[in-house]
């Protein structure tokens, strides 16, 4: 369900809406990489080595369709395509940053627990 389709459902849960747009294994990781800078497809593949080419393509298309990212095609040979956050996609920066910060805290907590177990 894309952004426009979702707007037709006034009783939808906002958390579910967010998860529909950025849920899954790769979307937040892609968004995080695009917060750093505009990326080309192969750059994203290098930065996210576990994602398959097919899945990366699918996730990028879905996020473009939902208005989260912008796809710029340059009229050159060979084709050059760049991906960046759209203005709407930038509104997710606090969410992505919070997820990053929580992940860092979680890793530190895991290390603390392991250190206590060894002591």
60-82 pLDDT per residue, tens = 999 999 999 999 999 999 889 99
Please provide the DSSP assignment of the chain as one string.
--HHHHHT-TT--HHHHHHHHH-SSSHHHHHHHHHH--EEHHHHHHHSTTS-HHHHHHHHHHHHHTTSEEEEEES-SS-EEEEEE-HHHHTTHHHHHHHHHHHHHHHHHHHHHHHHHH-
How far apart CA 67 and CA 40 sit, in angstroms, is: 18
pTM score of the predicted model: 0.80
pLDDT at 119: 74
Q: What is the mean pLDDT of residues 26-48?
A: 95
């Amino acid at each position: 369900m894309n952004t426009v389709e979702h707007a037709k459902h006034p009783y939808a849960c906002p958390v579910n809406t967010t998860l529909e747009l950025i849920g899954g294994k790769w979307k937040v990781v892609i968004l995080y990489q695009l917060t750093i800078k505009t990326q080309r497809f192969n750059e994203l593949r290098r930065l996210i080595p576990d994602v398959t080419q097919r899945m990366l393509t699918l996730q990028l298309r879905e996020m473009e369709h939902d208005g989260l990212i912008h796809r710029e095609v340059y009229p050159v040979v060979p084709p050059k395509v760049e991906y960046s956050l759209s203005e709407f996609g930038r509104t997710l920066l606090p969410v992505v940053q919070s997820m990053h910060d929580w992940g860092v805290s979680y890793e530190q907590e895991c290390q603390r627990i392991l250190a206590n177990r060894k002591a």
